[in-house]
């Protein structure tokens, strides 16, 4: 046995094992030792748990220059007003250069309040999304719950997408509160957000919008669509639809409201390309929101093939104020759909109108001047005649 213990092979095995264990020990230290600090503040890094009584040197990331710092007598490193660039792997070494301790420093801020908004695409689903008011630069964990007067439900988190979902909402009450807590290494913050479901109920836009010309009808368009898939097909929850359309280039929309799943437009402008869009809302509750608009569709009504005179290809401009339409009042997005060329031709029209007005004014004032002079001349001639008559009647 003693022979075995002193055998060179055994000793080598022991030495190799201790080497591996030692290295593993250092590695786990490196991986596990993360210290978090407040950005823009003084951060202290200790050289191991026990105070070191000998002089130590600190290194950062394999030789990078240390940021602004002090080393105290017990070997603690004090980083002054540490910022982003102070983050990294720090190690302290004894006078012979042997590694005593290493630590990874990450800097950031404690969480702040979150900006929360919730969407309700049908009567049983709520999705709340958030954005940070404070950028923390640190990994965080979240908890979320959705509380009504009689119930408490989890809000299922998707931290990467920064939202949470309440599925199968059990009670349709007016007020609910989302309780969302963010926690990181430096602190924790809870945000409470009140949701009035009825005001947030907003269907997704109707789907599969189709606009078709009707053969033999140059002023008609058949518009049809489907309920959004996220809205239940149930007589208890009906939608009302708002369709709007206009000749391409016009700024005036015509509109139709219906609860059906299709509608026939009868006053399209023959031969012109038309833009058509649709949105939806809960039929019974006008406090709820209209959906976003569906994407614009471009369709031209049916045209007789035999027509020799090609219909004007250029876009329609509003020379005439169409009846039963209302001017664009909604979003800038719709304004964007007016092409720049249209704006150019509109400018040209305004210029022409102004020019006409100026010319008319000049002609009218000329006529007026001529008329006034003529009148004065007439007047004078009349007076002369009068006086002549008078002179004649005077007895000589
Ligand atoms: C950081 O430490 C320096 C030097 O000890 C001190 O002058 C300064 O006031 C400290 N700053 C903060 C924010 O504590
Ligand atoms: C610091 O060490 C950790 C763990 O060993 C490593 O993942 C990280 O990339 C290192 N950081 C730098 C800046 O070297
Ligand atoms: C309500 O909307 C959610 C999200 O779009 C969907 O997953 C769910 O199936 C919808 N519920 C019904 C009853 O359609």
Measure Cα distances from 89 to 53, 79, 86, 92, 311 in Å.
23, 13, 9, 10, 74
| pLDDT for 179 beyond 70 | yes
- What H or E segment, with its residue span, contains residue 27? helix 8-32
How far is ligand 2, taken at its centre, from the CA of residue 74, in Å?
A: 26
What is the spatial distance between Cα 310 and Cα 304, in angstroms, rounded to a whole number? 11
Ligand 3 atom with least separation from CA of 122:
1
Ligand 2 atom with least separation from CA of 89:
1
Q: How sure is the predictor about 253, in pLDDT bands with cuts at 50, 70 and 90?
A: very high
What is the spatial distance between Cα 307 and Cα 151, in angstroms, rounded to a whole number? 68
The model's pLDDT over 135-172, given as tens digits with 9 standing for 90+, comes to 999 999 999 999 988 888 999 999 999 999 999 886 67
The model's pLDDT over 289-318, given as tens digits with 9 standing for 90+, comes to 999 999 999 999 999 876 555 555 555 555
Q: Which residues line ligand 3 (CB under 6 A)?
A: 121-122, 124-125, 230, 232
Q: Measured from the CB, is residue 174 less than 6 Å from ligand 1?
A: no
Residue keyed to tokens 């391409």: 248
| pLDDT for 27 beyond 80 | no
How far is ligand 3, taken at its centre, from the CA of residue 166, in Å?
A: 11
The model's pLDDT over 72-81, given as tens digits with 9 standing for 90+, comes to 878 889 999 9
Instruction: Name the closest ligand to CA 104.
Output: 2
Strands of 217-226's sheet, edge to edge? 207-214, 217-226, 262-265
| pLDDT for 14 beyond 60 | no
Least reliable range by pLDDT among 230-239, 248-257, 329-338, 359-368: 329-338
| Contacts of 68 by beta carbon, 8 Å cutoff, 6+ apart | 79, 80, 81
Which pair of tokens denotes residue 273? 């390309």
Mind listing the domains of the chain with CATH numbers? 27-108 (2.60.40.10), 114-200 (2.60.40.10), 207-299 (2.60.40.10)
Q: What is the pLDDT of residue 150?
A: 82
Ligand 2 atom with least separation from CA of 31:
4
Q: Higher-confidence residue: 324 or 383?
A: 383
Q: What is the pLDDT of residue 306?
A: 62
- DSSP line for 41-91: EEEEE-SSSSPP-S--EEEETTTBPP-SEEE-TTS-EEEEEE-GGG-EEEE
The model's pLDDT over 39-58, given as tens digits with 9 standing for 90+, comes to 999 999 988 776 656 788 89
Measure Cα distances from 132 to 123, 176, 180, 395 in Å.
28, 21, 12, 112
Q: With H, G, I as helix, E, B as strand and everything else as coil, classify residue 237.
A: strand
Is this model's pTM higher than 0.85 or not?
A: no
Q: What is the pLDDT of residue 393?
A: 47
| Residue 207 DSSP code | E
| Atom 11 (ligand 1) nearest CA | 42
Q: What is the mean pLDDT of the chain?
A: 80
């Amino acid at each position: 046995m003693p022979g075995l213990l002193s055998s060179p092979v055994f000793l080598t095995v022991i030495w190799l094992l201790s080497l591996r264990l030692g290295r593993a020990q250092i590695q786990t230290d490196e991986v596990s030792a993360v210290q978090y600090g407040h950005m823009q503040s003084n951060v202290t890094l200790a050289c191991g748990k026990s105070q070191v009584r000998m002089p130590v040197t600190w290194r950062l990331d394999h030789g990078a220059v240390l940021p602004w710092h002090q080393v105290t007598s017990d070997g603690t490193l004090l980083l002054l007003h540490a910022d982003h660039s102070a983050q990294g792997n720090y190690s302290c070494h004894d006078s012979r250069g042997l590694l005593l301790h290493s630590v990874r420093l990450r800097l950031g801020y404690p969480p702040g309040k979150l900006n929360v908004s919730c969407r309700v695409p049908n009567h049983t689903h709520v999705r709340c999304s958030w954005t940070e008011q404070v950028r923390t630069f640190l990994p965080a964990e979240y908890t979320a719950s959705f509380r009504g007067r009689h119930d408490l439900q989890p809000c299922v988190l998707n931290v990467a997408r920064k939202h949470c979902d309440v599925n199968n909402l059990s009670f349709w009450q007016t007020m609910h509160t989302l309780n969302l807590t963010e926690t990181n290494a430096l602190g924790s913050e809870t945000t409470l957000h009140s949701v009035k479901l009825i005001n947030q109920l907003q269907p997704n836009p109707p789907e599969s919008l189709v606009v078709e010309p009707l053969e033999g009808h140059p002023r008609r368009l058949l518009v049809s669509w489907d309920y959004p898939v996220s809205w239940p097909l149930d007589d208890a929850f009906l939608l009302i639809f708002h369709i709007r359309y206009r000749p391409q280039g016009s700024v005036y929309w015509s509109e139709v409201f219906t609860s059906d799943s299709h509608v026939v437009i009868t006053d399209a402008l023959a031969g012109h390309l038309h833009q058509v869009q649709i949105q939806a809302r809960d039929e019974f509750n006008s406090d709820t929101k209209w959906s976003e608009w569906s994407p614009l569709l471009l369709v031209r009504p049916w045209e007789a093939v035999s027509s020799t005179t090609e219909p004007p290809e250029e876009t329609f401009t509003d020379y005439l104020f169409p009846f039963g339409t209302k001017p664009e009042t909604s979003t800038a997005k719709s304004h964007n759909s007016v092409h720049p060329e249209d704006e150019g031709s509109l400018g040209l029209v305004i210029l022409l109108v102004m020019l006409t007005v100026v010319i008319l004014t000049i002609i009218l004032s000329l006529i007026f001047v001529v008329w006034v002079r003529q009148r004065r001349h007439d007047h004078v001639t009349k007076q002369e005649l009068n006086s002549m008559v008078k002179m004649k009647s005077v007895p000589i």
